[in-house]
Amino acid sequence: MFTNLEILERNPIPALLSQPDEALQYFINRDLLGEPVSSIETLWELSGANLLVKKQQKDGSWKYPGVNSGSVPGQNYSLLETYRNLRMLVEVYGFNRANSTIRKAAEYVFSCQTAEGDIRGILGNQYMPYYHGAILELLIKAGYADDPRLKIGLDWLLSMQQEDSGWIVPTQLVPWKERTPEFWQSDPVQLDRSKPHAHMATGMVLRPLAEHPDYRSKPEVIAAGEALKVRILKPDKYNDRKARSYWLKFQFPFWWNSLVTTMDTLAKLGFKRQDADISRGLDWFISHQEEDGLWPTGYGSGKKAGENRRWVGLAICRSLSYFYQGDKG
């Protein structure tokens, strides 16, 4: 329960509850206010959830709604769209493997797992540890922590660590002019482990490792957390989402690495608020509340932006509660 509102200048709860949203109110009551809530299955009947369920294909995937003409030849758009919709079903509507929709989606995702152990397809035939990690995070939250295929996927992530304990997307090592149509369908680019990690990738890879009870305390995972926290609010080492401003682009459900996702992950890894790097992130949240008590997301205005801002506010409050609960760190 979020009992440390005194650390904030403004109480965010009224703004979080300012618009009717049954799913958001459920999690505010459960996670922030500590009030009794009904079974999570009640959220599965909401119209937004039913709309997503109805669009699921027979093979468990979702069909990408746009024209499949992206910059990556051979890209599995169904896997990308399945990831997009799993985010909503698991994080917003609380779906888990007791629901047949999730079971079918999980089987589709695992059908995209290679003999090496990685989930592949969004980058053609190239390794995608960041998407791989983000997908596994959702499956763990949906109840697949003990699935052997998932553990193989986590072990694959650990096998891909750089010497500095973080991760990169191997295609980042290839100049743009060399990323031809043939490149995306060729054998995967191998690691140069001496290169510095990309915190965009490290943040996304760490999320499932921090979520899994058997992995979050592993020394190599804690070392990766150390590598991530020193980068908080600093530019990345590679051109993809390099600018410092990307730390402050907040989405919920989570997608890219940001200050919100990083603080959520580092809290689960056991880092404490007295740590100087952690304190730098917490200080940003404490000092950047807007008039209504919520936070800027970096994604403009409008109805969808407003919805996102409230869900992001919930995520920030969750992180603050992790770091300030009990004996306050």
AA identity, residue 43: L
Residue 327 has pLDDT above 50, yes or no: no
Q: What's the pLDDT tens digit per position in 145-196?
A: 999 999 999 999 999 999 999 999 999 999 999 999 999 999 999 999 999 9
Q: What's the pLDDT tens digit per position in 22-73?
A: 999 999 999 999 999 999 999 999 999 999 999 999 999 999 987 655 567 7
Report CA torsion sign: 278, 279, 280, 281.
Answer: positive
Tell me if 314 sits within 8 A of 267, measured CB to CB: no
Question: In CATH terms, is domain 39-272 a member of 1.50.10?
Answer: yes
AA identity, residue 195: K
Residues of the chain with CATH 1.50.10: 39-272
What count of Cα atoms within 13 Å lies in the side-chain half-sphere of residue 152? 11
Q: State both tokens at 272.
A: 């404490």
pLDDT tier, 6 (very low <50, low <70, confident <90, very high otherwise): confident
